[in-house]
Amino acid sequence: MSNLNWKIVNKIIKNALNEDIRSGDITSIAMNLKTNANAKIIAKENGILAGIEVAKQVFKFLDSSLKITNNKSDGEKIIKGDEILSISGNGQSILTAERTVLNIIGRMSGIATIVNEYSKLTNELCKILDTRKTMPLLRELDKYSVECGNGVNHRYGLFDMILIKENHIRWIGGIEKAINSALEFTKKQNEKIKIEIEVTNMLEFKTALKFPIDRIMLDHFSLSEMKKAVKLNNTNIELEASGDVNLKTVKNIALTGVDFISVGALTHSVKNFDFSLLFK
């Protein structure tokens, strides 16, 4: 797994706490207690953990005096009833941070868990990719969670890879023009920039195959078309399948021989993982 960019993560944490607390946690303040407490976060279902270090940072961001111990690590399998984190210290601080922590690790572990389901079904035949269909301003956490579930990150954003899609092709007036423009642009850069193009039929695929690009996305190809594309590909160009991918279809897609399968649902249709924070 890649390391989290903590500069981005700390900004997410700061904004999340501010959104929830604003002028103060008036329920906890109303209890008028200064008593310390011991608490634990437990898993309420089976899956893959993601976000444990972020959870610790949320507590520390709010109250650096809290003592926190994690019993599980990111990417690790967890089962219902597992205690993943223990916290001790100011009870009010624990209660104030509770919902922000659970929201973050719930989303992150939900992503990691579903990614792992896809990954197991492909049996290492190909790699499962995420997309840019992430929650705005939470991409750092979403992308990291995909890796925790044994998935692979596609481009992070619009800045780090050229991905020519259908509307780009229509805009410029054809596949050849689009690819040639991309190749001309990359020659002028001081760093290697990968080029990928989305194709929607076999004619477009055969055209794209003639150019020295890095990857071709087969958009909504049938299984038979994917197999044909794999057979025709006598180059080093990687092939990515996209469209109509779900847990029922992913294994058959992997068996066609493509290198990657991208799944937008990994991050745009997240089912939160269920955790609880309980005082001991």
Centre a 10 Å sphere on the Cβ of residue 203 and count the other Cβ atoms it contains: 10
Residue 123 pLDDT: 82
> Phi then psi for 141, rounded to 5 degrees?
-75, -40
> Phi then psi for 242, rounded to 5 degrees?
-150, 145
Query: 116 CB contacts (<8 Å, ≥6 apart)?
Result: 47, 48, 149, 150
Of the candidates 139, 117, 127, 128, the one whose C-alpha atom is nearest the C-alpha of residue 271 is: 117
Residue 156 and residue 2 in contact, taking contact as beta carbons nearer than 8 Å: no
Residue 1 pLDDT: 67
Q: Could you tell me where the DSSP H helices lie in 149-272?
A: 166-172, 175-187, 202-208, 223-232, 250-254, 265-268
Where do the domains of the chain lie, and which CATH numbers do they carry?
A: 6-119+270-279 (3.90.1170.20), 123-268 (3.20.20.70)
Centre a 10 Å sphere on the Cβ of residue 220 and count the other Cβ atoms it contains: 12
Residue 252 and residue 123 in contact, taking contact as beta carbons nearer than 8 Å: no
Q: How far is CA 182 from the centre of its chain?
A: 27
Cα–Cα distances in Å, from 178 out to 156, 195, 215, 223? Answer: 22, 11, 14, 27
Residue 119 and residue 150 in contact, taking contact as beta carbons nearer than 8 Å: yes
Residue 137 and residue 102 in contact, taking contact as beta carbons nearer than 8 Å: no
Residue 238 and residue 262 in contact, taking contact as beta carbons nearer than 8 Å: no
Q: Could you tell me where the DSSP H helices lie in 133-193?
A: 139-148, 166-172, 175-187
Q: pLDDT tens per residue, the chain (280 residues)?
A: 678 999 999 999 999 999 999 999 999 999 988 899 999 999 999 999 999 999 999 999 999 999 999 999 999 999 999 999 999 999 999 999 999 999 999 999 999 999 999 999 998 899 999 999 999 999 999 999 999 999 999 999 999 999 999 999 999 999 999 999 999 999 999 999 999 999 999 999 999 999 999 999 999 999 999 999 999 999 999 999 999 999 999 999 999 999 999 999 999 999 999 999 999 8
Residue owning tokens 């601080």: 93
Residue 76 and residue 22 in contact, taking contact as beta carbons nearer than 8 Å: no
Residue 124 pLDDT: 83
Centre a 10 Å sphere on the Cβ of residue 215 and count the other Cβ atoms it contains: 19
- Tokens representing 221 are 């190809």
Residue 46 and residue 145 in contact, taking contact as beta carbons nearer than 8 Å: no
Residue owning tokens 């991905």: 163
Q: Can you tell me the distance from the alpha carbon of 33 to that of 203, in angstroms, rounded to the nearest whole number?
A: 71
**Looking at the DSSP assignment, which residues form a beta bridge with residue 261?**
128, 241
